[in-house]
Amino acid sequence: MSFTTLGLSDALVQGILATGYTAPTEIQSRAIPLAVQGQDLIGLAQTGTGKTAAFVLPVLHKLSLIEPPQPRHVRALILTPTRELATQIEASIKNYGRFMKLFSATIYGGVDMFRQISLLRRGFDIVIATPGRLIDHLGRKTIDLSKVEMLVLDEADRMLDMGFVNDVKKIIALLPQARQTLLFSATMSQGIKSLTASVQRSPKLVQVGEERKPADSVTQKFYKVEQDQKTALLFHILDTVEMDSVLVFSRTKHGADKIQHRLEQRGIKAIAIHSNRTQSQRERALRGFRQKHYKVLVATDIAARGIDIEGISHVINYDTPNFAEDYVHRIGRTGRAAATGDAITFVARDEYKHFRRIAEFIGKRLQLEAYPNFSGTETASLLKEEGISRFKPDEESRESHHHHRQAERNKQRSFKNRENKNNGAEQMTTKRTERSRKQSEKPQRNGFKHHGFPKQKSGSKSEYTMRKSETPWQNLLSDEEAYEKVQRKSGRD
C-alpha cells in the first residue's frame, strides 16, 4: 500500500514522502482512511507502531480542506500526557505539513507562562497540550477552544494513569459537541472504555498487534540480582556486551541521578533526564544522546514517554517497573520500526511481585534467570579499587527498607491504636505525629526547601497565581511527582 491511496491531500503526501516514509504502517493504513472520512476512532496501538502519524495526518488533512480563517483560531486540539510527547507531535506536524500553511503551538508546564500567553495571541490552527497547563490557560481565558473541530487524545491510558482524567473531562466539556474525536491508547482499560463512551460518537475500533504484547523484535531477559549488586551488574553488562545506545530506566528521579553519576565515575559517558531537569536541559540531553555523545541515557518513566530515538540497541530496567504497562512502554523504546533490540530487566528480591505482574500482563511465560558468569564479587572488588563507593547497600534499597520498616511501624501503631480504642489521648498524639511527619517530609521533596509561595506585594490575584504556578517546586510537583506517588503506593501492596 502507498500513502497516495489513503485519501490524503497532495501537499500532505508530498510532505510524508519528503520525511522519508515510503509506505504506511499498519495502524496508519487502517486508521487514516476512517479518520479522513470523519469517523470517531479508537486506535489501540503501542508506541513505535507509527501511531503519531496515524492521527497527525488526518488532522492536517482535515484542516487543509478549508482556508484557515482570519484571525486564526484553534481548530484542532491534541492532548498528550507529557511535554516530550507534545514536542514530538509538533515536530511530526512540521515534518508532514511542511508544504502546508498551518500553524501549531505546544502548551506544557515547566516553561514561561507569559511567553506562552503572548504566543497564543498570534492564533494557531493546532494546539498540542498537556492537560494541566491547558487547564491553567483555560482558567485565565488565554485560550479559546470553542471552535475546535477535531480532538485527539494521545496515550489516553497514560493520561488516566497519571491522574489527568478530571482535567481531560473538564477540557472536553468546553469543546463543541459537533467535533471529531480520535483516541489512541496502548490498552483498553475500563477507564478508557468509560471515557470513550462519554466523549466519542459511535467510534470505530482499530487495533494493531496484540494488546499488551511488546514488539516481537525485542528480546526480553529478566535477571535476578540483589539490590546492592545492580550497579555491578550494570557495569558488567556494559563492559562485556557490545552496546551502542543504551537507555537505562530508573523508577525515581533520585535513582536516575545516582546511576548517571556512577556511570560517569566509571568513565562511561552518560546523561540523565527527569522532571527536575529543565526543558532545555532535557532537550540538550536527548540531542547529545541522539548524536551519540553519550552511550547511556538514564531516564524515569515519565521523562522517557514518547522519546523517539532510532537505534536504541538496549533498554535496561535497573528497577523492575511497578506497573506492567510501564514495562511494555519502556521496552518499546527499542526495536522500533522493525529494528531489533534487547530489553534487560533487573529483578531484586522485593521486585519479584512486579515481575509476576509483568508476566501475567504480557500473558507469556517469562523466565527469571541468573546472569551468566556474573557473581558480582569480582566486579565489586574492582570497583572498590576504583574508589566507587557504591558497595554500601544501595540507597534505593535502604529507602525501600526504610519504607518497609516505616510501614511495619505504622501497622503496629494502628494495631496499638485499635487496642487502645478508648484512649483518646494516645490516638490524638499519633495523629499529630503523623501530621507533623507528613509536614516535615513535604519541604524536602526533590531536595528543594519549600519556603512558601512568594507573597503578593502588589498587582492582581491573577498575577499572584501566575507567579505561584511558575515557582520551580510547582513544576517539580508535576506529572512525575504525582506518578512517583502512585508508584510508591502500588509498591506497597
Ramachandran angles phi, psi of 107, nearest 5°: -130, 115
What end-to-end distance do the CA atoms of the chain give, in Å?
A: 48
459: left (phi over 0), alpha (psi -120 to 50) or beta: left
Find the helix or strand (DSSP H, E) in which 409 lies: helix 395-419
Q: Which is nearer to ligand AMP, 268 or 339 (CB)?
A: 339
Residues 454, 459, 463, CA angle at the centre, nearest 5°?
60
In angstroms, give the least distance from the CB of 96 to ligand AMP. Answer: 10
Report the candidate in 319, 321, 316, 356 with the shortest Cα–Cα distance to residue 334: 316
CB 245 within 8 A of CB 389: no
Q: Which is nearer to ligand AMP, 17 or 117 (CB)?
A: 17
DSSP string, 40-84: -EEEE--TTSSHHHHHHHHHHHHHHTSPPPSS----EEEE-SSHH
In angstroms, give the least distance from the CB of 49 to ligand AMP. Answer: 5
Q: Which is nearer to ligand AMP, 51 or 61 (CB)?
A: 51
Q: Which is nearer to ligand AMP, 15 or 255 (CB)?
A: 15
> CA 99 to CA 117: how far, in whole Å?
27
Q: Which is nearer to ligand AMP, 167 or 308 (CB)?
A: 308
Alpha helix ranges (H) inside 178-315: 190-199, 230-240, 253-265, 279-290, 301-304
CB 206 within 8 A of CB 34: yes
Q: Which is nearer to ligand AMP, 104 or 320 (CB)?
A: 104
CB 249 within 8 A of CB 303: no
> CA 314 to CA 116: how far, in whole Å?
37
DSSP-based three-state secondary structure for 368: strand
> CA 330 to CA 322: how far, in whole Å?
12
Ramachandran angles phi, psi of 461, nearest 5°: -60, -35
Q: Which is nearer to ligand AMP, 19 or 118 (CB)?
A: 19
In angstroms, give the least distance from the CB of 235 to ligand AMP. Answer: 30
> CA 248 to CA 289: how far, in whole Å?
12
In angstroms, give the least distance from the CB of 25 to ligand AMP. Answer: 5
Ramachandran angles phi, psi of 2, nearest 5°: -125, 165
Q: Which is nearer to ligand AMP, 310 or 493 (CB)?
A: 310
Q: Which is nearer to ligand AMP, 335 or 376 (CB)?
A: 335
Instruction: List residues binding ligand AMP (CB under 6 A).
Output: 21, 24-25, 28, 47-53, 308, 336-337
In angstroms, give the least distance from the CB of 154 to ligand AMP. Answer: 9
Q: Which is nearer to ligand AMP, 11 or 382 (CB)?
A: 11
In angstroms, give the least distance from the CB of 30 to ligand AMP. Answer: 13
In angstroms, give the least distance from the CB of 309 to ligand AMP. Answer: 8
In angstroms, give the least distance from the CB of 244 to ligand AMP. Answer: 17
In sequence order, what are the residues at sequence separation of 6 or more whose Cβ sits closer than 8 angstroms to the Cβ of residue 275? 110, 253, 300, 302, 303, 475, 476, 478, 479, 480, 481
Q: Which is nearer to ligand AMP, 310 or 385 (CB)?
A: 310
In angstroms, give the least distance from the CB of 288 to ligand AMP. Answer: 19
In angstroms, give the least distance from the CB of 328 to ligand AMP. Answer: 13
Cell numbers found for residue 166: 478530571
